[in-house]
Every structure is written in structure tokens, then in C-alpha cells.
Structure 1
Amino acid sequence: MSNCVSLVATSGGLMKDWFSSPYFQILYKNRDTTEARYFINRLDDYLQFPKDTKAMDLACGRGRHSVSLHQKGLDVTGIDFSPLSISEAKQFEKPGLRFIEADMRTYLEEESYDYIFNMFTSFGFFGDNMQNQQVIDCVYKNLKANGIFLLDYLNADFILDNFIPQEHKIVDGISFHINRAVKKGHIIKDIHFEDQGKSFHFQESVQLITREMFEYFFEKAGFIQKDVFGDYSLRPYVKHLSERIIFIVQKPTTHAD
């Protein structure tokens, strides 16, 4: 689910239905390995990845960030909720790079990872802050002492300042009509299209999570904040100007309860 937003099928299906839909992959096919490789290169400059340390790509999607992390010498496990994404990611498996279908709220390998990465707004799928906290707490448990967690999310302030209510995209001959609205702290995206004589309607919902709320999640779990960046070049975060909000937090040696 890396490279995704919170998704719900309006037909009453589960989130997995849209994540696993081939149309999801078509609509977001522009998210390529070049962007992922650039971001990982900047992170390597900043974090100086030691070789053979263990990393998790949390909500890894089809594995584009996992592959780039592995190329930096990390032992990488990518996990994702979508069976289709994991099926496609498995083509990249090799020693030191593996992919697992799992739920980010409950997947545990306690104190196993030096780094956990959550890329490209792959958070907030479950729609309420109790479950958001559950994800952050699970990340904390999976990290070794002094382990690093990176969370990359859209900047809610920038999105609202530059809100686009309607959009039309043609991808692989399919005409996607996208309508957006802000409701109860979420951006709701209705996606309508036709293919092979059938009409489809899916709905995405991404939470508008503020910096302050993320910092509350981190503090409650026990993390120490190290840095906040505003883009994939790791320039400083500016509230109304940065397109992204990228947190670097660390698990301390001991948790002060």
C-alpha cells in the first residue's frame, strides 16, 4: 500500500478490493522507481545506512522503495495489505529482499528492525486515531533500541491551500473522472470510469493528519523526534509551502513509561 491513500470500495467491499484492483495500479502507474531511487539516495546521504542492517518497508505496495533500499545494502522486508501488490512485488525477491502480505496494525517481529519506512502517504487507512496509534505502537515494538522510523505523508496544510476539486485523467485508454471533497477531516475522492462496457465507482479517503497529531502519536508510543523535512530532497518543512511532511523519529534505548 506504499504509494497509496486510504481506500474504500463504495460497493461495500473492503479496502483490499480497491488496493487489489488492476485499475488502482493503472491510475497510479506514474509512481515510478526513479522517484523512489532519488528519495532513498537522499536518505542514505542523511542516515548513512550501515550494510546488512534490517529494514521494513511498511505498506510497500509493489516494492519500488524496498528494491531501492535493498540496493543500498539493507536486508529488507516489505509488508502490505494488498495480495495483488505483494504478488507483483515478489518478482523482485532475492536473498535479503522478501515480501509478506500482512496488516500494519498487528504485524510483529519484536525488536527485529534497525529501520522502518512508511512511504508516500501509506498511513491512516483505517480512518480513526485509535487505529493510527495502534500502527505507530506496532512500529515501536518492531524496532530495536535506537532504531529509526521514517513516516512520509502529504502536508495537509499545503493540500488544503492548493485544493483541486475536479480532475480528469486518461491512463491506458481509460478515462478517470475524479471529484474531491473535504468531509470530517478527510479528503474524499470519488473515482468514476468505464472499461469494457462496464461502469465503475470507487472511493478513496485520506485523513488530513496534522503535524501536531503525528507528534502526539509518536510521543505516546515513546519515540524521540529527530527531524522533520518537507520534500524528497530533505529540505526543511514549511507549514504552508511544503508538499510533504517527512518525520524522522527514534526509539530510545529504554522506554520511560
Structure 2
Amino acid sequence: MAEWYEQSFGEDYLLVYKHRDFQGAYQEVQKMISWLKLPQGSSVLDLCCGMGRHSLALADAGYQVTGVDLSNVLLREARAADSEGRVSWHQGDMREVPLDESYDAVMNLFTSFGYFEQDEEQLKVLKEIYRLLKPGGRFIIDYLNPAYVAAHLVPHSSREDEGNWIEEHRVIEDGFVKKQIAIRSAASVTATEAEPARVYHERVKLYPYEKFRGLLEQAGLSVEQVHGSYNEDQYIEDASPRMIFVGVRA
């Protein structure tokens, strides 16, 4: 049976998350550049690059960018947006990245972490980040804040988009935040016999700050700053929506 992350990042993902725009990515990249203090021309790996929004913004800012993602659908979109071929795109699993190069910086953004059942599997990802960094190379890992997620969880939401009815159910269970997404045509919702929904699942392990920091240190990654959002604010456990770790390969 395929894992959820092998199934959920397909064509329907483009519909559910189409609100993630390129303009927001450009603003976030400007913050990341200021945190990393990397000179233009530095090599950057965007690990779990998705549709390539941040990769392309980094390329526009003068960096040599490589993007890696497991989803061929998302990589197709990334390549389509990169008509000049400025970014080197690769398909691969973040636990075993099919690259031998090392980079000045590695980024793992928007909670592209915590997908696996076991801590050992998450640690493989962090050790890959270590391996892919040059000595003294810098990293950013942008992860959710578990305390904020617990306080602000919306158990159910629904909306219509492009003739589709999208329902999302969320729950915190067994140390994970879990989401079920069901999609069917909007017309069928009021029909006598509703069509079967296309159902997807997402699951992210909830690592509190100290536990996450311990995993980073175990992998040889030293934390220098922790931000609570892209507005430069420091991380506050009960208030910050994100935990954005910025640091260096020890």
C-alpha cells in the first residue's frame, strides 16, 4: 500500500493548494536571504521544492538553485514555470537524495518534514541535509509550531472551487496532526446519489521545540536562530504559527 505522501501530491493537490502564490514566495525568500547572509551566486538546494515557487524566487535573486521533490506532478509544474531552465530539477525521496553535490545552503520549507511514522526516518532527512551541506553550510527548516496547531485547529472546513466541492477534516491523534481531504464535483453534492469522493490523507508528526532541536543536534546541525514567522519575530511557544530554524552544519 502506497504511503500518503506518494498519493496526495498529485493533480488534486494543485487544486486544493492553488492559493499558494509566487508573490508570497518572493517575499519569504527575501527574509530567508537576510537570515542566511549568503552572497549572490551561492549554491542552494530546495529540498521538497514542490511547484518550485521558492526555487524560482531564489534563482531570480541570483543564486544557483537545485530543486528536489518526490512528486513528478509538482516537478512538472515547476519545470513549466521555469521556461529558461534556470533551476536544476530532480525527482527523489528526501531520506535518500539522489545527488552527490554539496551546497552552500539547504532549505526545507512549509512543513515538508515529519511525514514518516518513526523518528529514525525523520532523522534520515536531517542527516541528508547535513550530507548535502558544505562544511559551514547553512540551512533553513520551516516547520509548524505544534502548540499553535493544537490551539488553532479547525476540525472541519469546506468550500467550492472550479466546480469542485472540497471538504477537509483535521484531527490531532497519536502525536500527529492528520488531515483528510475529500473532493467531488459540486453538482453531485446536492444530487440524489452523490458521486464517490476522491479522498486523500496528510499526516505530520508533531515535534515540540526541544525535541526538534534535539533531532537537529543529533544530525550535526547547529541552530543559530528560531523565528516564529517570516515577519522576523522570534519564536514564542504559545503564540508563533511557525518554527523556522536557521543554522549551520556543525
TM-score, length-scaled by structure 2? 0.91
- The residue type equivalent to 1:69 in the other structure is L
Check conservation: 2:116, 2:204, Cα contact below 8 A.
Answer: no
Once the two structures are superposed, residues 20-65 of structure 1 have per-residue CA deviations (whole angstroms, 9 ceiling, x without a partner) of: 2x11110010011111111111122333331211100000001000
Note closer, same or farther for the CA distance 1:173–1:193 as it changes in structure 2 (3 Å cut): same
Check conservation: 2:35, 2:246, Cα contact below 8 A.
Answer: no
Q: Is 1:46 aligned to 2:46, yes or no? A: no
Check conservation: 1:55, 1:74, Cα contact below 8 A.
Answer: yes
Query: Paired residue for 2:224?
Result: 226
- The residue type equivalent to 1:183 in the other structure is E
Question: Number of matched residues?
Answer: 240
How far did 1:203 drift?
1.5
How far did 1:136 drift?
0.2
- The residue type equivalent to 2:173 in the other structure is K
Pairing partner for 1:56 from 45, 60, 73: 45
* Residues in 2 aligned to 1:153 and 1:121: alpha-carbon distance in whole angstroms: 4
* Residues in 2 aligned to 1:127 and 1:171: alpha-carbon distance in whole angstroms: 32
* Residues in 1 aligned to 2:72 and 2:153: alpha-carbon distance in whole angstroms: 32
Check conservation: 2:116, 2:205, Cα contact below 8 A.
Answer: no
Check conservation: 1:108, 1:138, Cα contact below 8 A.
Answer: no
- The residue type equivalent to 1:49 in the other structure is L
- The residue type equivalent to 1:158 in the other structure is Y
What fraction of aligned residue pairs are identical, expressed as a percent?
30
Query: Paired residue for 2:65?
Result: 76
Q: Which runs of 5+ in 1 are unaligned?
A: 1-11, 253-257
Check conservation: 2:22, 2:53, Cα contact below 8 A.
Answer: yes
* Residues in 2 aligned to 1:54 and 1:93: alpha-carbon distance in whole angstroms: 20
Query: Paired residue for 1:7?
Result: none
Note closer, same or farther for the CA distance 1:40–1:66 as it changes in structure 2 (3 Å cut): same
How far did 1:241 drift?
0.5
Query: Paired residue for 1:9?
Result: none
Check conservation: 1:167, 1:179, Cα contact below 8 A.
Answer: yes
- The residue type equivalent to 2:216 in the other structure is F
Q: Is 1:86 aligned to 2:75, yes or no? A: yes
Once the two structures are superposed, residues 103-131 of structure 1 have per-residue CA deviations (whole angstroms, 9 ceiling, x without a partner) of: 11011545610000001011112222110
Q: CA RMSD in A?
A: 1.6
How far did 1:93 drift?
5.5
How far did 1:156 drift?
0.6
* Residues in 2 aligned to 1:224 and 1:233: alpha-carbon distance in whole angstroms: 22
Q: Secondary structure at the match of 1:19?
A: coil
Check conservation: 1:54, 1:113, Cα contact below 8 A.
Answer: yes
How far did 1:69 drift?
0.8
- The residue type equivalent to 2:48 in the other structure is A
Pairing partner for 2:154 from 147, 164, 168: 164
* Residues in 1 aligned to 2:35 and 2:112: alpha-carbon distance in whole angstroms: 22
